């Protein structure tokens, strides 16, 4: 037997393109007033900054829910632009939660801490914690490669000298 639901019980979208925090705030406001709300895509929107959720209520509660949410405005997303006018996004995770960074940059090279100056256009991602620059680096990677090659060559020659010395004993 097929059960037919009234038209007032179907779910309708009253707010769309919300991030997870905005959606939870609006759902809590509606729940406090006795309107059961559903946040479609809540978990997916919480995992990735670029995905959104939709706030849904029963069709019969739509008018009252709209009255409650009419005074609520979500904070606009802060979108930063580079000097060319393009939106800034992290090169690693794609998040738009980046801010300009000035100071020492973390590196895997021991005893080498390059500093990011304001003119370097260096950014720090608040989502994944990575640092990146929109400009080319100031120093050439060739000089760094030659320096590391020289250090490794000296280490190899030192190891060969120790092996030959130990064999001579």
Q: Does the pLDDT of residue 114 top 50, yes or no?
A: yes
Alpha helices of the chain — where are they, by DSSP H? Answer: 20-32, 42-47, 62-69, 141-168
Q: Which pLDDT does position 83 carry in this prediction?
A: 66
Task: Considering only CA atoms, give the Rg of the chain.
Answer: 28
Q: What is the pTM of this model?
A: 0.42
* b/e per residue 149-158 (b: at least 16 CB within 10 A): eeeeeeeeee
| Per-residue confidence (pLDDT) for residue 17, from 0 to 100 | 75
| Domain 7-69 classification at class level | alpha beta
The percentage of the chain sitting over the pLDDT mark of 90, rounded to a whole number, equals: 18
pLDDT tens digits, one per residue of 40-99: 877 765 566 556 778 899 988 999 998 988 887 655 555 566 666 677 777 776 677 777
User: Which of these, 27, 52, 57, lies nearest to 42 by C-alpha position?
Assistant: 52
Q: Residue 51, CB half-sphere, CA atoms under 13 Å: how many?
A: 11
């Amino acid at each position: 037997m097929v059960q037919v639901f009234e038209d007032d019980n179907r779910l309708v979208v009253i707010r769309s393109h919300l991030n997870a925090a905005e959606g939870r705030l609006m759902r809590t406001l509606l729940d406090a007033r006795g309107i059961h709300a559903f946040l479609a895509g809540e978990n997916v929107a919480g995992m990735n900054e670029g995905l959104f959720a939709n706030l849904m209520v029963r069709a019969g509660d739509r008018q009252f829910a709209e009255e409650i949410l009419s005074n609520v405005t979500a904070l606009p997303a802060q979108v930063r632009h580079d000097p060319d006018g393009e939106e800034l996004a992290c090169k690693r995770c794609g998040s738009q939660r980046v801010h300009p960074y000035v100071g020492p940059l973390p590196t895997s090279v021991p005893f080498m801490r390059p500093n990011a100056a304001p003119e370097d256009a260096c950014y720090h991602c608040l989502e994944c914690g990575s640092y990146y620059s929109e400009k080319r680096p100031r120093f050439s990677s060739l000089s760094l490669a030659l320096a590391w090659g020289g250090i490794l060559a000296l280490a190899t020659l030192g190891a060969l000298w120790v092996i030959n010395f130990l064999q001579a004993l």
